Amino acid sequence: MKRINELTSIGFQIDQFNQSAYGKVAGYHYLLSYYKQNKRLVLSTSVSLTEECHLALMNLPLTYIDQLTYQKPILQMVIQNINKVNPQQIEQMLQMVSTFLSHWQVKEICQYCQQEKNVHICHMQGNIALVCDDCLQQYQASVPSLPKVKFGRGLIGLILGAIVGMAAWVAFYQTGYITVLGGFLMSFLAIKGYEKFAGRLDLRGLILAIIVSVIMLAVAEMLCLDLEIIKALDVDFERALDLLPRFLEESEIQEAVAQDLAFGYIFMLIGSFSMYYQAYHQVKRQGVYEKKMD
């Protein structure tokens, strides 16, 4: 198995953001967490084991499990290399573990209160956990409500951040290079400007940050061209702006600008994709405390 997405073939649901999968096998809930850096897969559930049961479980012939540990309430099984197993083999191992737990009359318990109650796989503001209804409700009640977004102020902060990012882009351009860092800074400062002034980042602010960053990069390119005109013709800024449309009529200039913009947007995408991905899921998970599976 090369990707955690393949676990859908055995009925597991995928959480792309956390690189996790979750599902139920023979009456027990399991959370599978994938660590991409070392290709490690960690299988866990929340149960109450006696010492005798734990020792018996250690002797279970789980072929592909490299490490098995229990620290109440988490039973954890580690597969050191996800490539050496397929989804069906994982399902067989979990089936074997579930059969063992059922034979020993082991009950699932809540990760939080560690009581034998009906548990559910839940999203707890970005984290996945096995919790009971009571703990989920208590957790929801204990977390303060999200602050109201001040959209007008956020828009001002977004534009200010993008302007600073645009200035950084122009400065990088003057060195003769178009860099990934320039595109990243423009996007990063736009998002942080909105977040700082608005009180928090929301989906509306994230979308606007992307749009404004794209526009500002084009504006930055025009400013760079304007500075080139000033250097070449020794004219002031206003006169260079007047001459800009004429220069843009030249096919060679058009090709150079198109190439700069193409590289700029590619580098912006390379530099900012991960940040946008993280920010999007941060926005989607704000204040989310919900059941994912009973």
Cα 177 to the chain's mean position, in Å? 30
The answer to whether residue 123 is domain-embedded is yes
* Residue 292 pLDDT: 57
pLDDT bin (cut points 50, 70, 90) of residue 99 is: very high
Which residues have CB under 8 Å from 197's CB, separation 6+?
150, 153, 154, 155, 156, 157, 158, 160
Q: Considering its fold, how many domains does the chain have in total?
A: 2
Residues 9 and 122 occupy one common structural domain: yes
Residues 126 and 160 occupy one common structural domain: no
Runs of H (alpha helix) within the chain: 51-58, 87-103, 133-142, 151-174, 180-198, 203-233, 237-248, 251-285
Domain boundary among 143, 174, 205: 143
106-114 mean pLDDT: 93
Residues 125 and 176 occupy one common structural domain: no
| Of 123 and 94, the one with more pLDDT | 94
Mapped onto helix, strand or coil, the DSSP state of residue 199 is: coil
Percentage of residues of the chain with pLDDT beyond 90: 38
pLDDT tens per residue across span 280-290: 766 666 554 45
Say what the pTM is.
Answer: 0.64
pLDDT tens per residue across span 24-81: 999 999 999 988 888 889 999 999 999 999 999 998 888 889 999 999 999 999 998 8
The answer to whether residue 226 is domain-embedded is yes
Asked whether the beta carbons of 120 and 111 are under 8 A apart, the reply is: no
Task: Give me the domain span that covers residue 132.
Answer: 4-143
Residues 155 and 134 occupy one common structural domain: no
Domain boundary among 85, 115, 143: 143
| Tokens matching residue 204 | 């509306």
